[in-house]
Structures are given as structure tokens and as C-alpha cells.
Amino acid sequence: MAVEPINKPVEEKGALEETTVKIFRCSKVVKGGRRFSFAALVVVGDRSGNVGVGYGKANEVPLAVEKGNKDARKNMHKIPLVGRTIPHQINGRYRATKVTMVPASPGTGVIAGSSARAVLEYAGVQDVLTKVFGSTSAKNVVKATLNGLTRLRSKEDVESIRGVEVEVVKRW
């Protein structure tokens, strides 16, 4: 007979996956030469509607990635999904970057650049079309994509907010 622990963890350690979107190197010129420091942009998600973005800085790359991972796990967001795609078209904005995300028919895949793709895939979106307007810097694109995803509303959310029945129109 197996005894189960009283305090079960809310999530298993292996449930969240992580990826490093970009490593930034910064140098400072000192008397003896150059000193380098590193920053890491990390995306963490469970591929089923939860995603987080983190940014960590340190004097070595592994420490920066670890700090970014910890920051991303603290800043997790729940994303509403409809099957394999997003519920509706949305524009995400962050500073000089605008990311447009359009739901796509099954089998389309994630049509996006590397920065937006990381956020979308780890959020669990499998069919979506995206276009980035303005600045294409990795930090801005990741934050604009996350901004758009957090502003998505499911059919149930809209019905409860408006107090009316909402009819969904499929285009494909």
C-alpha cells in the first residue's frame, strides 16, 4: 500500500518546458581590458495554455539563463485556446513593435519568426499566422506577443462580461 504525501505539488517539475530566445552580451572597458556580462531572454510554458517570459542578467551565460528561467516561472499567464489555435484575431503592442496574430485552420502550423514562435509554441498554440510590424528586436517581439495573448478572451469570458449569448462564426 503506497502512502501519498499530504502536500502534493501543484505542478510537477517536468511539466514546464523552457527555451532561451536570445543571449545578449554587454561589454565594459576597464583598465585591464573588457569585462563581459550577459543577459538571457527565456520563455517557459507547458504547451497547454500557460506561458511566461523572463529576463535574467549575470556575469556568466548559465547563471543568466537560470535567472531568466526563474523570472519566467514567476510571471506565468493563462492563455485561452480554442482547440489548436487562438479564439480570435488580436494585435499585441509593446513600444515600437506591433504583432498581429490571426487564428488559422488546422494543419497550418505556427507561421511566425523565432521570437514570436517561442512564445506561441510554449503557450500551446499550434495553428496561427503572425506578422510583426515596426521594431523586430527579440525583447520587443516577445513582449508584444505576450501582450496580445494575455488580451485574448474566450467565448465564455465574453458571454459572462456582456451577459448575452455569443455565436461563433467559423471561416474555414
Chain-wide mean pLDDT for the chain?
89
Strands (E) across the chain are located at 17-30, 33-45, 50-58, 76-78, 90-94, 97-103, 110-111, 128-134
At residue 171, does pLDDT exceed 90? no
pLDDT at 11: 47
Q: Which domains are delineated in the chain?
A: 13-77 (3.30.160.20), 79-162 (3.30.230.10)
Pairing of strands 33-45, 76-78: unpaired
14 versus 139: the higher-pLDDT residue is 139
Measure Cα distances from 78 to 19, 53, 146, 150 in Å.
18, 12, 11, 7
Higher pLDDT, 8 or 51: 51
